[in-house]
Amino acid sequence: MMIDTEVFDQEVFAEFAPKIVEAVQAHGGRFLMRGGTTEVIEGGWTPHRIVVMEFESFERAQAFVRSTEYTSLNDLRSRCMHSSVIVVEGYDGPGS
């Protein structure tokens, strides 16, 4: 799962952050990246704060975004950030 977030209210984000970490962990997910420096190599994308999470499977990630733990945070999330979220199936082939 990959998320591009633009945090506009740090105070509300400070309330949101530990709750989303708890929800991710409760669904067997883990954070691979949270923020940090980015560099656009090609294209017109202007990322803000990139978050990458890993789940056991595509289906587990889908279940997470449909879960009560995740959806119950929608209001809090919308009060502190704009975000774009995608779920991407993993790859276990050559080179992985």
CATH number, domain at 74? 3.30.70.100
pLDDT confidence of residue 92: 78
Nearest to 1 by CA among 38, 72, 68, 50: 50
Q: Return the DSSP state at 93.
A: S
Q: Does residue 81 lie within any of the structural domains?
A: yes
Domain that holds residue 26: 2-37+48-86
C-alpha span between 59 and 90 (Å, rounded): 11
Q: 12-56, pLDDT tens digit by residue?
A: 999 999 999 999 999 999 999 998 899 999 999 999 999 999 999
pLDDT confidence of residue 65: 96
Structural domain total, the chain: 1
Concatenating the DSSP letter of every residue in 15-80 gives HHHHHHHHHHHHTT-EEEEES------SSS----EEEEEE-SSHHHHHHHHHSHHHHTTHHHHHTT
Q: What's the token pair of residue 30?
A: 């883990």
pLDDT interval class at 72 (50, 70, 90): very high
